[in-house]
Structure 1
Amino acid sequence: MLGAFANAFRTPDLRRKLLFVLLVIVIFRAGSQIPAPGVHVSNVQGCISDLEGSSLYSLINMFSGGALLQLTIFALGIMPYITASIILQLLVVVIPRLEALKKEGQAGQSKITQYTRYLTLGLALLQATGIVALARSGNLLQGCADPLLHSNSTSTFLVLVITMTAGTAVIMWLGEMITDRGIGNGMSILIFTQVVATFPASLWQVQKSQGWWVFGITLVIGLVIVAAVIFIEQAQRRIPVQYARRMVGRKMFGGSSTYIPLKVNQAGIIPVIFASSLLYLPAMAVQFNQNSGAAWVGWVNDYFVTGGHPLYMATFFLLIVFFTYFYVSITFNPHEVADNMKKYGGFIPGIRAGKPTEDYLSYVLSRITLPGALYLGLISLIPLIALVLIDANQNFPFGGTSILIMVGVALDTVKQIESQLQQRNYEGFLR
């Protein structure tokens, strides 16, 4: 990995792209530290230092690089865009018009991207309204008695909501700038930046609370987890495909061999986000009904808020397995793949084209999805188990969403750098 970056910096055009990405990252992180207008900075900082590591908004706060609870101009981070992208991916399967746009190629994909932008702004407006309302009422940071805003007036409320929504629009623009003029997927790199930003503080918190021995053991376990995640993320089942020779005019086409790569973790990190978001709903409902005295409020507080109860862990694990199968089923269509292979004269050796190919792909996909779902569930339970064993917080550095994001984005970026280096070497050789 270091060798790829070193070679990239020796290449002028790649060096310009990497420096541009670094510049955008600096701007992005600076915006994550600038408080929004009307925020009482000293009170916010004091309340955050008094809070426990466990938080209702731990996932969203991680995706914002810690900017959410500090109420900065980039407080919402990249989360509205992630949510909008997931919703559009689901709607493409449900709405025929969107499915037709997807099949139109680049023009249709541009339309879907535009819809994603609009939905991102709408979700950002809703999330900003909710967060500012919680900050205004004093419920954003539980147990904090100091006011988080200088004023509870309507004008301050509107300015904060508009600022945070505009911050999300700027983040979206920065991500697209990286995609167009830099290296890698811009949104993924910004997510990676925000997760890495909280990583050193979370790791050092383990040392401060548990001492050097536990800190050292945590580092060793973390390296083992990273190695395992890299191994699984790279693992894939390659289904061989051959294309028959066919005459088109006076030319012969086909006769080549290729394969269909089916990754063990075909769903990526999406099932973890789905499951986490679903489990936040009862905890959020409790937060708005703390003083109601209802029996269900106490039950949810006991089992579904801290994250350390076995019932919470089991529910979280089962939801991840379910959403893994669900997401894979809507993103990989064996019927469509089998039809495309038949249309272009492709076949799997030993399997007839058409329905037998579709059944075979469905069979292999269902078998390979099981270890992928179990892997996602176990990796996501690591911070919850650490919460019980060493009294760490839910932002435990070596586990769950953070490791999956860091390893996945790093591997993808390095692959893109290496592919551009290889392309440049081929061009030089041809000259």
Structure 2
Amino acid sequence: MKFIETLKNIWKIDELKDRIIMTFSLLLVYRFGAQVVLPGIDSSKLASFSENFEGGGIGFVLNAFTGGAFSNASVFALGIMPYISASIVVQLMGIAIPYLQKLQKEGASGQKKINQITRWLTIGICLIQAPSYLLSLGTLGVPSDAYLMPDNMNLFLVSSTIILVTGCVFAMWLGEKITDKGIGNGISLLIMVGIIATLPQAFVQEFAARVTGTGGVMLVLVELLVWFVVILLCIMLVMAVRKIPVQYARRAASGGYEKNEQGSRQFIPLKLNASGVMPIIFAQAIMFVPAALGQLDTSWATTVQTAFGDIFGFWYNLVFALLIIIFTYFYTAITVPTNKMADDLKRNGGFIAGIRPGTETADYLDKIMSQITLPGSIFLALVAIFPAFVSLMGVTQQWALFYGGTSLLIMVGVAIDTMQQINSYLLNRHYDGLIKTGKNRKAVA
């Protein structure tokens, strides 16, 4: 009843209702575009092409992130991933390039320029990825008779490149509009919707395999229970923080001089997993290298491909887990500015009990971050390789990939972020209602 009442309260707030409707509308546009095949390709002859992305591996990952657009040869085949790549590059370049460091300190105006740089870099990445995707269509399984203009392939490549770049830019625009006019982070929502789009098909395949094979419906229920537990553990990983108690000395003027009053106590929340899913994304990019080396016609390349070609294999997951732990430390070090935190704390008159302000505080925060990053990185690595353990229990590969990895963490993180934004609207309206009439009021335009 409380949940139903919450849904009613959401619908009573006009601003929140309009934002949710806007979000769903733009997401529907994105999903519609994922089904539109590139001009010049016969969609009825892409069955064998789509089947190549159903057995796991890099193709399945790319297809999942684009919501099936990659295997549909869609106008949104590149999805939003070029923008994600550009954002990562700009963020890493901000460590070494003084100009970007200066922009980061300029507030909103600097962030606007950084966003513009990211957009132009996104177009540059698209201009590289689009022709590569089009030239690899034949290798990936698109039959030669699927092309409607086989005698004019140059025109097809040029026009399709323009369409793919435009599709990525349009998807980027949709994401930014969702962030501004909708609810939640638009780019993250586009990725999450793409992942969820492949979830029903994976579950139906697993259900059919269990019903017709061994286990039956009861085993499916057990798998759902395990999946629910894994989701709860991912929520704990995303939400877990270490609270560092901080005291602020308050001063009050009295008789021409100031005297200390009792200080107020607050906390610095240090997240257990401050790097989010970025270590998995970085590690996944490195693990794509063996697949590329496997294309070389040499004995050692074949050996590497055999050892690392199976994403559920031992060596793949061992190296994958080690890379995640390493990248977690690396990304945490560059995204959690302990020195800046210590300086801000000192400037505001705050201190950690028993620790001197300044350098000692920065060293103390850095030590705490190192201590909590180790269990956080191990937990993150276990979540990332958990699909390999699930597949050993007879679960189909498509369904096993939803038991961990980037997909599950993105779904959990985005869902939590969106729910927190909705909850903030509800709390604000409830607070406003208590002052006025004690009930939720319609939002004032």
Normalising by structure 2, what TM-score? 0.89
Q: What is the aligned partner in structure 2 of residue 92 from structure 1?
A: 94
Distance 2:120 2:304 in 1: 35
Q: What is the aligned partner in structure 2 of residue 219 from structure 1?
A: 224
Q: What is the aligned partner in structure 2 of residue 237 from structure 1?
A: 242
Q: Is the 8 A contact 1:334 1:358 kept in 2?
A: yes
Q: Is the 8 A contact 1:383 1:394 kept in 2?
A: no
Structure 1 segments unaligned to the other structure (5+ residues): none
Q: Is the 8 A contact 1:56 1:284 kept in 2?
A: no
Distance 2:61 2:300 in 1: 24
CA RMSD of aligned residues (A): 2.3
Structure 1 pair 181–94 and aligned structure 2 pair: CA distance change class (3 A): same
Moved more, 357-366 or 40-49: 40-49
Q: CA deviation at 1:185?
A: 1.1
Match of 2:331 among 327, 333, 355: 327
Q: What is the aligned partner in structure 2 of residue 78 from structure 1?
A: 80
Q: What is the aligned partner in structure 1 of residue 195 from structure 2?
A: 195
Aligned positions of 1:103-142 closer than 5 A: 103-135=105-137, 138-141=138-141
Structure 2 segments unaligned to the other structure (5+ residues): 437-445
Q: 1:70 aligns to what SS in structure 2?
A: coil
Match of 1:265 among 265, 273, 277: 273
Q: 1:74 aligns to what SS in structure 2?
A: coil
Q: CA deviation at 1:341?
A: 1.1
Match of 1:277 among 285, 290, 297: 285
Moved more, 45-54 or 99-108: 45-54
Q: CA deviation at 1:216?
A: 2.8
Query: What amino acid maps onto 2:183 in structure 1?
Result: I
Q: Is the 8 A contact 2:53 2:71 kept in 1?
A: no
Q: Is the 8 A contact 1:203 1:397 kept in 2?
A: no
Deviation track 1:373-403 (CA, whole Å, cap 9, x = no partner) reads 1111111112223334326225622221111
Larger radius of gyration: 2
Q: 2:63 aligns to what SS in structure 1?
A: helix
Q: What is the aligned partner in structure 2 of residue 16 from structure 1?
A: 18
Distance 1:32 1:25 in 2: 11
Query: What amino acid maps onto 1:177 in structure 2?
Result: K
Q: 1:69 aligns to what SS in structure 2?
A: coil
Distance 2:22 2:259 in 1: 46
Q: 2:130 aligns to what SS in structure 1?
A: helix
Distance 1:68 1:316 in 2: 24
Q: What is the aligned partner in structure 2 of residue 359 from structure 1?
A: 363
Aligned positions of 1:153-164 closer than 5 A: 153-164=153-164
Q: Is the 8 A contact 2:86 2:125 kept in 1?
A: yes
Match of 1:414 among 419, 424, 440: 419
Aligned positions of 1:2-41 closer than 5 A: 4-41=6-43
1:166 aligned to 2:166? yes
Distance 1:34 1:251 in 2: 70
Match of 1:150 among 134, 148, 151: 148
Q: Is the 8 A contact 1:76 1:128 kept in 2?
A: yes
Q: 1:139 aligns to what SS in structure 2?
A: helix
Structure 1 pair 102–359 and aligned structure 2 pair: CA distance change class (3 A): same
Q: What is the aligned partner in structure 1 of residue 408 from structure 2?
A: 403
Q: What is the aligned partner in structure 2 of residue 374 from structure 1?
A: 378
Q: Is the 8 A contact 1:210 1:390 kept in 2?
A: no
Deviation track 1:3-24 (CA, whole Å, cap 9, x = no partner) reads 6444212211111111111100
Distance 2:4 2:280 in 1: 30
Q: 1:68 aligns to what SS in structure 2?
A: coil
Distance 1:163 1:261 in 2: 45
Q: Is the 8 A contact 2:390 2:403 kept in 1?
A: no
Structure 1 pair 187–2 and aligned structure 2 pair: CA distance change class (3 A): farther
Deviation track 1:209-245 (CA, whole Å, cap 9, x = no partner) reads 3443543332121011011111222111111222223
Distance 1:385 1:273 in 2: 20
Distance 1:345 1:351 in 2: 13
Q: Is the 8 A contact 1:102 1:108 kept in 2?
A: yes
Query: What amino acid maps onto 1:379 in structure 2?
Result: V
Aligned positions of 1:48-87 closer than 5 A: 48-49=50-51, 52-87=54-89
Q: 1:260 aligns to what SS in structure 2?
A: strand
Deviation track 1:288-331 (CA, whole Å, cap 9, x = no partner) reads x3xx3x11231122111122321111000000001111000000
